[in-house]
Chains A and B, each alone.
Chain A
Amino acid sequence: MPVWTLYGLKQGKVSQRWPAVGGDDGQSGVLGFPRFDPAQCQSGCRDCADACLPQAITLKEGGGVNVDYGRCVQCQLCVTACPSGAFTLSSDWAFGVRAREDLVWAQAANSAAGQTLKREIRKVFGRSLHVRHVDAGSCNGCESELQALNNPYYNLHRLGVFFTPSPRFADLLLVTGPVTYAMKGPLLAAYEGMPEPRFVMAAGTCACSGGTNGGGYACGRGLDGLLPVDVWLPGCPPNPAAFIHALLMLLQRLPQRVRGGHLMEDGDGR
């Protein structure tokens, strides 16, 4: 159909160079996880914890608060609730980590043991990855952003990452949703159907911890204890650039950017 070919050519190239240097990640203005500054935190105050529906912020015994970004749904209500500015808006969204503990805010940026993850990953997969996605009860927000990865702007294919319909051809099981009672069986069956070596990504806050939607009579609380997770990617939902970062992090083509709940400059987390 030449008219569409001509039309397509006239649109020009819109794919971004990102994550290569100089590319636009397309997330201008998008808010990430609220940044926490314990120096600003007033003791005896519980306003942030009271404003946090998924209990990402909880009170510490003896004062202060615990912050677990693996439970955060980025509603930003804590930023408004905090009277002393300990929580501030940020654009920190590239929060993929290999160890769940790294999503919990810690005083020092500590690297958990066993960080080096299967060293052979690059050797085995080269620079390519085939992904089987399983929706285990998401709100469709994560799917919307995963589908966006294949639009011409992000053009995931150019990075060697493909979605595959069969678990038998898949290297990575990418799971969204808190895992409903009905999807637990099909999810485990998809994992069983994958050849070794295989990897698992908990994508979105629901899959990391249940978020606001987990628990209750019909849901679990994400993948913890259900499958061996290699990458945790919280976010409600993670934006397409965050997905790309987490996928490339798995392939060891990009460094992890978060340790102990701190976002680091590129390179620090290597």
Chain B
Amino acid sequence: MNAPLLQDLAPSQLPERARALLESGGRLQMAYAWFPDGAIELRYLAAARPKVFEIWRVRPENGTAPSLAAVAPLLSWYEREIADLCGVRFEGRPEPDPLVLLPGARASAPPLTPGADLRIDYTPQFARLPEIAGPDRADVQVLPFGPVRGDVLESAQFLFLYIGEAILHYLPKLFFKHRGMEKRFEGLNAPFAPVLAERVSGVDSVAHALACCQALEAAAGCAVPPRAHWLRVLLAELERLYNHLHYLGHLCHTTTLKVGEAQGKYLEELAKQINGRLAGSRFLRGLVIPGGLHREPRLDGLRESLARLQEQFAPYAEMLETSTTHLDRLITTGVLPRRTAFDQGASGPIERASGLDRDLRRDHPYAAYDELKFPVALRTAGDAHARQQVRLAEIESSLALIRAVLDELPEGPVHAECTPPPGSEGLGWAESPRGSLYYAVHVGSDGRIARMKIKSPSFSNWRAFPFTVHDTNMMDYAIDEASFGLTVAGCDR
């Protein structure tokens, strides 16, 4: 992992700098604020060129900074979140509504202000809807769906503006599950951080623990033993495996391919049972800690169980790719054009299905990924089918990566001492099954965590998702949503 380059910018330099970055083919990754010595400071993370991140450090003037959302639309959500949680004003924000705090929620102070004794007063209000114009406006109906939805699903509210079968506009209202997770890291010592990180988004436990620990390791400047690096790859790929298998089963559920659903979910179950034997946890929790791994995972029998899984996966994948009833529902459904994917910050399998060739494992290698060769799955159609194909290819490559780790795993210890010193900071990242995940840590003068920023892939992909729903039809909605493979917990934090 290369250390990011830290640069100081004046607020007035921001728009020009952002434009120059985009013109040179770079991309903004996230933005957040924190309070060093009580004064607010903004941080922008930019991927300028391969293997190097830039961090722009900006001190707002009178609590105000220029909005970059018109230059880089994906920043709009970050600006709204910073405004809600840290109280920064962004001048010229195109979307002025709060994001994280729900309509009708009033915090006694911006929740991330240090030392604030906080309370949220909440009188639920209906979300502000876009103005409806045109000759048919009397026929437009509003369907609010959620936050408690059917089946066993995460809580979120979706507003559909529709006429008959046609969706005119779609507005997801998220953050019902906002738990204030970033604030909970404050005041913790490093060893507790992964325990909490694993519980931000349960099905991405490894990726969260990994990004969190890598941030702490960068702050501490400690060297993780090679064996731990390799085993971290193994854990991360096992996580991708069960997530993608679940994804296929769930996608079949929405296309009403019953046997396909049963088989996908059965294979997911087998993968989780492999996890349980290996780590003692079906979600692979409790292994990744700052400095390496908590203990050795049980590797005996892993190769054989994965071989059996792969034997069952291969014909299943072929069936999915040749079933016309299934493919009919996927092809041209929920198209995310390449340009929209880039502008709105889509991440992971979603952006790769829309032709954006990016993967943190290859572009900014961490753990042992720089020593491993693997293909980055890429499709250009940007529809639900392309997203299925990317996931199918990634399952194959995960299985190959796990075999490679088992073949070449170096001997040695799995843990080294790691204590970030007071006043240090670090950035960690991981390509989770859903896309790019970042953790930025700032350690206070007492050696405890003063700020932990979490940028989850679902935060990015929920931003892009509505662009595939506007102007489509109700029948395709469930398929489109399933094809994105979003979590609400990761987005809401």
Contact = CB atoms under 8 A, between A and B. Distances in A.
B212 to A, nearest CB: 13
B191 A77 contact: yes
A213 B150 contact: no
Contact of A146 (B152, B286, B487): B152
Contacts, number: 200
B120 interface: yes
B263 A134 contact: no
A219 B179 contact: yes
B325 interface: yes
Contact of B180 (A14, A29, A73, A218): A218
Contacts of B448: none
Given A145-B282, A178-B179, A218-B120, A140 B154 contact: yes
B260 interface: yes
Interface in B145-178: 147-155, 175-178
A215 B348 CA distance: 32
A73 B198 CA distance: 11
Contacts of B276: 27-30, 239
Given A30-B276, A135-B153, A137-B177, A8 B262 contact: yes
A55 to B, nearest CB: 12
Interface string A31-70: 1000000000000000000010100000000000000000
Interface stretch (B130-138, B266-274, B392-400): B266-274
A124 B37 CA distance: 62
A26 interface: yes
Given A29-B298, A151-B268, A153-B266, A190 B282 contact: no
A30 B199 contact: no
A163 B151 contact: yes
Contact of A217 (B118, B177, B282): B118
Interface in A199-258: 211-213, 216-219, 236-237, 239
Task: Give the interface residue-count category, chain B.
Answer: 35 or more
Contacts of B28: none
Contacts of B263: 7-8, 11
Interface string B325-340: 1000000000000000
Interface in A108-153: 133-148, 150-153
A145 to B, nearest CB: 7
A182 B152 contact: no
B195 interface: yes
A26 B102 CA distance: 41
A153 to B, nearest CB: 5
Contacts of A182: 102, 105, 122, 124, 147, 175-178
A213 B258 CA distance: 36
Interface centre among A3, A80, A143, by most B CB within 10 Å? A143
Contacts of B222: none
Interface centre among B179, B199, B263, B265, by most A CB within 10 Å? B179
A244 B262 CA distance: 19
A53 B489 contact: no
B57 interface: no
A86 interface: no
Contacts of A177: 177
A30 B265 contact: no
Interface stretch (B87-95, B200-208, B475-483): B200-208
A66 B472 CA distance: 57
Interface in B342-386: none
Contact of B266 (A147, A152, A186, A190): A152
Nearest to A131: B152
Nearest to B242: A144
A134 B155 contact: yes
Given A217-B119, A217-B120, 7 more contacts: A28-B273, A80-B294, A143-B153, A151-B262, A151-B265, A180-B177, A190-B148
The 4 closest A-B pairs by CB, nearest first: A141-B202, A165-B150, A31-B280, A29-B277
Interface of B: 102, 105, 107, 111, 118-120, 122, 124, 147-155, 175-181, 183-184, 188, 191-192, 195-196, 199-203, 205, 246, 249, 257-260, 262-263, 265-266, 268-269, 272-273, 276-278, 280-283, 285-286, 294, 298, 315, 319, 323, 325, 487-490
12 contacts: A4-B258, A138-B489, A140-B202, A145-B282, A148-B269, A152-B262, A182-B178, A183-B155, A186-B147, A211-B199, A217-B118, A236-B285
